Structure 1
């Protein structure tokens, strides 16, 4: 499965495959024709509250990833469209954020690639060099960060401000 991420301000390329905008808001200064979109998946974008809370602050990245994955877990129908497109061929997720490392397209791509490898695997596909887990990728051995805790389980971390 080939899933790319790209800023909306970069020109389309022949290898992009199906192109989907994954922002909730239309990007400033960009015409619809110039993007050559196959779809605008607003429903897969972070909620307005989460987007405002995150504010593209890298210090909030790990928590943003966790919260966004929880939001995505509640949108199986919207994810199915994207999974189907990715099964047919290359997909490019388009985003407007300035930061190429800390945006919703990165999280969405990770999730789709994890799904393509199969669930239930003990392999952690987000390891940092030296075998360490990348920040925010694994909160509990054997459970990825997007999986919810069992009902009634509580976090040992102090609560941060909610979106």
Structure 2
């Protein structure tokens, strides 16, 4: 079995002309100002995104990414929807996790990518 490639991309950015990818939105809320028909999307994994509590706490303290990451990872470890998501993602060779945040280095997709790469090998 070949290794799954996981990439992240901002939902507002145009899809790259690359090999076929399974595109997953990993935000709980739909990206503001983006029409559903304008987003190339295969799956919306809102149940795997950070809880409203964790998300709001991070938005009020954006300088504390480490605390956000720790809280989100704790949620992921006990998320009952994770098994379904990993089984679905396992059917694809290339996955793109889509997110809406303006910060490309400190967001939930970065944390989820790292988590999935460890979990899925």
TM-score range, shorter chain: 0.7 to 0.9
Query: Structure 1 CA distance, aligned partners of 2:34 and 2:84?
Result: 24
> In the alignment, what sits opposite 1:2?
5
How far 1:14 moved relative to its partner?
A: 4.2
C-alpha spacing 1:56/1:7, structure 2 compared with 1 (3 Å): farther
Query: Structure 1 CA distance, aligned partners of 2:116 and 2:8?
Result: 12
Query: Structure 2 CA distance, aligned partners of 1:34 and 1:106?
Result: 23
Find runs of 4+ consecutive structure 1 residues off by over 6 angstroms: none
Residue ranges of structure 1 left out of the alignment (5+ in a row): 118-163
C-alpha spacing 1:57/1:101, structure 2 compared with 1 (3 Å): farther
CA contact (8 A) 1:8 1:95 kept: yes
Structure 1 residues 87-98: aligned runs within 5 Å: 87=90, 88-98=92-102
**Is 2:18 aligned against 1:11?**
no
Residue ranges of structure 2 left out of the alignment (5+ in a row): none
Larger-Rg structure: 1
Q: Which moved more, 1:90-99 or 1:36-45?
A: 36-45
Partner of residue 44 from structure 1, selected from 44, 48, 52: 48
Query: Structure 1 CA distance, aligned partners of 2:97 and 2:114?
Result: 12
> In the alignment, what sits opposite 2:73?
69
Query: Structure 2 CA distance, aligned partners of 1:84 and 1:107?
Result: 19
**TM-score with structure 2 length normalisation?**
0.86
Partner of residue 83 from structure 1, selected from 69, 86, 106: 86
**Is 2:116 aligned against 1:112?**
yes
**TM-score with structure 1 length normalisation?**
0.65
**Is 2:58 aligned against 1:54?**
yes
